[in-house]
Amino acid sequence: MNQSPPVSVRAQSGVAVITIDAPPVNALSDAVRRGLVDAFMQADRDDAVTAIVLTGAGDSFVAGADLREMALPPQSPSLPDVMLAMEACAKPIVAAINGAALGGGLELALACDLRIAGPRAALGLPETKLGMVPGSGGTQRLPRLVGSAKAIEMIGQAKIVKAQEALALGVVDQVAEDPLTVAIAAATTTRKRRVSRMVVQAADAEQITKAADGAIRRARGNTAVASAIELVRDAARLPFDEAVAKERAEFLRLRESEESKALRHLFFAEREAGKGASDAKPRDIRSVAVIGGGLMGAGIASCFADAGFPVSLIERDADAAAAAGERIAGIYDAQLRSGRLDDAGAREKRERVTASDDWTRVADAQLVVEAVFEDMALKQEVFRRIDTLAAPGTILATNTSYLDIDAIAAVTGRPQDVIGLHFFSPANVMRLLEVVRADKTAPDALATAFRIGRRIGKLPIIAGVCDGFIGNRIFSLFRREAEYLVEEGATPERIDRALERYGLAMGPFAVADLAGLDIAWATRKRREAANPGSERPLPISDKLCELGRFGRKAGRGWYLYRDGAPKPSVDPEVGDIVAAVRAAKGIAARTFTDAEIVQRMLGVMASEGKKVLAEGIAQRASDIDLVFVNGYGFPAVKGGPMYGAARGFP
């Protein structure tokens, strides 16, 4: 425990240096806020002090509010009380932003008269990500420095900017290698310059609308984004004090909202998941080989290339290698077109990937990721071959969606090095990564896979071996349940609409059409052959497939996809098939409310989730929530199926 006070003051040539020292990230706890009010008042009274510098100890300036206190009633002094003390202070206050200045941390810096950022500073107001708005002047001071459009973009999209960008935007006044020394020197010459007294620059209405639309588009039911936009707009039309009072009221209202509680649950869930599952020392990974350069393999290769790793993308023959190379080029061309990368950036990343049919390249990699067709015999053959080529200690990973990784590991002479790395499509976009621990996976192999997942910007979640791991296992029951509901009387479009209204990116039938009905059909036939009578049949899906209605790619599936029509339409032929199945089963169709549909569909997920937990396939319920929010388009504002089930899916 840190026994020293969290806020200290020391004098240096007439400057009072106030340091926040509250490890690990200098969060604004009760004690810190109290310490700050005392320190500012004391420095203001002290005649020997002419100016003040505010900084953080360690790697952070102030990383934000103390989220654990969010669940409790607000305590005095509040952060606005700290701001009042700063505004009342007659002496100039300079922020030496040594590291992360996030949320309330940036609000503190904005209440200073001058801001000097160090090279490691990261600045942002990410409150909307937690379903809240800044509550201590952030929505009012930021637009005074950067303009309304930029403030809407930063706050509405919870953007975090680095020092140089912050300087270009006007969030900070200077970037310096040693911000504290520069701040102390600047404090003695600068004048009082309260941001609250500045006026918001007149702005281009079109820019503001564009920024607002961009933020709303990404909000996905998170109403805090619209609130934040309104508050920023207020900065240009209301007096500062009035707008700040309004902002505070909105902050206090939103922190009690169901959305914010759900988003905070996910925030803590990520923190827990980030602890990993093994204390073993990870192995060193310097280069990567990916076997199979199809849809997933190419995406996976680009994930590693983006993070700076040289990648060998290995295919079965020269033609397939050329096609894999084209896919890589396609990924970077798309990023070039969308403006996410410039020419040089796209070329640099693309050149990190070498597509070939030269398997000897496996020997140079410390991590091999297999992404060939989903076929056990083929995967085993590939792993036998990798086993003869890879250097000792190489991590051998499979991207299989459903297959038994223990059976894959068993064909190698090194099952301790075999693991599942299950990416989601599109692999270079989706954050979720299931790290599947097989029976014999060594602790340091698990630790390596977990760490590399984080290195490439993914959210790794540890899973155990079973049919479909955490996500696909639960999701396949969800899809089945949708069809059972159709048998009982709901229409596919009604089910999709109910779940989309709940917040899912796409309903299950729209997803099935997109993914293709034929794959699930083949899986059902395989399972039925292996284990007759083990699963309730899906006669409607079977009939659709027998008619060649494989989904979007066939122009027809659960829906009809007319040439050029922007949206799928309802097809009477599907209605006839459904009616015939109901008649054959003697089912009298009944109606369902949206709420019933949501309860049934998500209830099935939650009950399978409990089994997944009991079997040790998932480590904690919150991991299951993260899987569905980050891999399956589940709405973050609902907190995930396990969180939702515990609250009756409001």
Q: Report the alpha-carbon angle 27-9-42, nearest 5.
A: 105
How far is 635 from 500, CA to CA, in rounded Å?
A: 9
How far is 35 from 43, CA to CA, in rounded Å?
A: 12
The type of residue at 387 is D
Listing from the earlier edge strand, what are the strands of the sheet with 51-56? 7-12, 15-20, 51-56, 93-97, 114-117, 174-175
Interface with ligand NAI in residues 100-129 (CB under 6 A): none
Min dist CB 517 to ligand NAI, Å, is: 14
Min dist CB 534 to ligand NAI, Å, is: 21
In terms of CB distance, is 111 or 465 closer to ligand NAI?
465
- Taking CB under 6 A as the rule, does residue 292 contact ligand NAI? yes
Min dist CB 513 to ligand NAI, Å, is: 14
What is the secondary structure of 552-575 as a DSSP string?
A: GGGTBSSSB--TT-SS-B--HHHH
Q: Any catalytic annotation for residue 127?
A: yes
Per DSSP (E only), the strands in 156-284 are 160-162, 174-175
Region of 24-32, 119-127, 303-311, 396-404 interacting with ligand NAI (CB under 6 A): 396-404
Question: Residues near 330 by Cβ (< 8 Å), separated by ≥ 6?
Answer: 298
On whether the CB atoms of residues 479 and 604 are closer than 8 A, the answer is: no
Q: Any catalytic annotation for residue 107?
A: yes
185, 280, 307, 320: which one contacts ligand NAI (CB under 6 A)?
320
- Taking CB under 6 A as the rule, does residue 508 contact ligand NAI? no
Region of 106-114, 205-213, 240-248, 374-382 interacting with ligand NAI (CB under 6 A): 374-382
Residue burial 193-210, b: 16+ Cβ < 10 Å; e: rest: ebbbeeebeebeeeebee
Min dist CB 314 to ligand NAI, Å, is: 6
On whether the CB atoms of residues 44 and 89 are closer than 8 A, the answer is: yes
In terms of CB distance, is 388 or 425 closer to ligand NAI?
425
Tokens standing for residue 123:
């600045």
Region of 141-149, 335-343, 398-406, 630-638 interacting with ligand NAI (CB under 6 A): 398-406
In terms of CB distance, is 400 or 491 closer to ligand NAI?
400
Tokens standing for residue 190:
């600068």
Counting every residue written for the chain, the total comes to 650
- Taking CB under 6 A as the rule, does residue 374 contact ligand NAI? yes
- Taking CB under 6 A as the rule, does residue 368 contact ligand NAI? no
Three-class secondary structure of residue 16 per DSSP: strand
- Taking CB under 6 A as the rule, does residue 373 contact ligand NAI? yes
In terms of CB distance, is 344 or 373 closer to ligand NAI?
373
How far is 235 from 539, CA to CA, in rounded Å?
A: 59
- Taking CB under 6 A as the rule, does residue 295 contact ligand NAI? yes
Min dist CB 614 to ligand NAI, Å, is: 25
Q: How far is CA 550 from the centre of its chain?
A: 31
302, 335, 401, 441: which one contacts ligand NAI (CB under 6 A)?
401
- Site size toward ligand NAI (CB under 6 A) is 22
Choice among 107, 247, 259, 608 that is catalytic: 107
Choice among 69, 127, 326, 608 that is catalytic: 127
Min dist CB 505 to ligand NAI, Å, is: 15
Min dist CB 454 to ligand NAI, Å, is: 19
In terms of CB distance, is 79 or 362 closer to ligand NAI?
362
On whether the CB atoms of residues 120 and 56 are closer than 8 A, the answer is: no
- Taking CB under 6 A as the rule, does residue 418 contact ligand NAI? no
Phi and psi of 560, rounded to 5°? Answer: -105, 135
Strand 432-437 relative to strand 418-423: parallel, antiparallel, unpaired? antiparallel
- What is the helix (H) or strand (E) element at residue 121, kind and residue range? none
Q: Give catalytic residues, as residue numbers.
A: 107, 127
Provide the binding-site residues for ligand NAI, judged by CB under 6 A. 291-297, 315-316, 320, 371-374, 378, 382, 399-401, 423-425
